[in-house]
Structure 1
Amino acid sequence: MTEAQTFIPLAIAILVISDSRSESDDRSGQALRQGIEIAGHHVIAKTIVPDNIYQIRSAVSNWIADDAVDIVITTGGTGVTGRDGTPEAITPLLDKTLDGFGEVFRMLSYQDIKTSTIQSRAVAGVANGTYIFCLPGSPNACRTAWEHLIKEQLDYRTKPCNLVQLIPRLREH
């Protein structure tokens, strides 16, 4: 493309999944909000729900049914404990998975947390034309995912390709 591309701000919803966090002590959601807003996107909703697959699925389902939401980013519930159920909540909603997201996220995380990265079940995909990214609950994991992986893919100017340019085609059948 020879014409200069301009930044396209996206509408992003954040879901914090935690049995113990509130708005006042939610550092992961705050880290995501800060990165999103600095990048020039809009946080149009932010909610905290407990580690319960049905409450997670309900919140995300409402956002993927809303044409005003382009992206959903969740934080928390991607580990291996009995309460961690984000992948189980989200995967049935996905029309397509972005398998490379989890693979690259774990590769990036290895630099900071070494082999502990195998405990991460970070996933991403598309549901009803909405991108969904499910991140671990630590602020560092959220910053790693946003700064080194998601931010560039949500910037229309990223070459050779990015997820934004595909948004108009996500609902094709």
Structure 2
Amino acid sequence: MYNRKQDAKPQVISYDRVKSYMLWLIERYGDYSAKTLLQKANLLFKDDKQFNEPALEYLKERGIVDDRRYAERLTMSLSEKNIGANKIKEKLYAKGLSSQIINECVSAIETSDKDYFEKALILKIRKFGEEPIEDIKVKQKALRHLISKGFSYSIANKVIGYSADDDY
């Protein structure tokens, strides 16, 4: 009933085809880290991977793929959300970026402990209410929640004991 694609002969894998695929991904979906782009190319062109790395190197040389630029954009985007520095680092590691780039980008974020305290307080109030937490089990649950969102133990502990009457 329908024409099957099995009848079509497979396309030849070439350097230009791999390069155009990577460019298409970037144009269509935006920036990628070099590692992610290489993984996608390896997945599609798994039969012949010899052109994947040279095509990626071509894009790096031209400045189309730049891990530092990608990390800076992603860091700025993540810093606007209610998450801590540790969670931002975790998400950047998951994208395949080097630890040097990650540390530089996270240290460049202009947020103080007070900013992180306010972000953590928003999360605590949203989930556990405004009053200081006294119950040990709820306190442990709140600590786990805030630490999993990337906040340090000291900030999470301050937020849990914070009441509206206190000054930060």
Q: Same fold (TM over 0.5)?
A: no
Greater per-residue strand proportion: 1
Between the two structures, name the one with larger relative contact order (CA 8 Å, sep ≥ 6).
Answer: 1
Instruction: Answer 1 or 2: which has greater helix percent.
Output: 2
TM-score normalised according to structure 1 size: 0.27
TM-score relative to the length of structure 2: 0.28
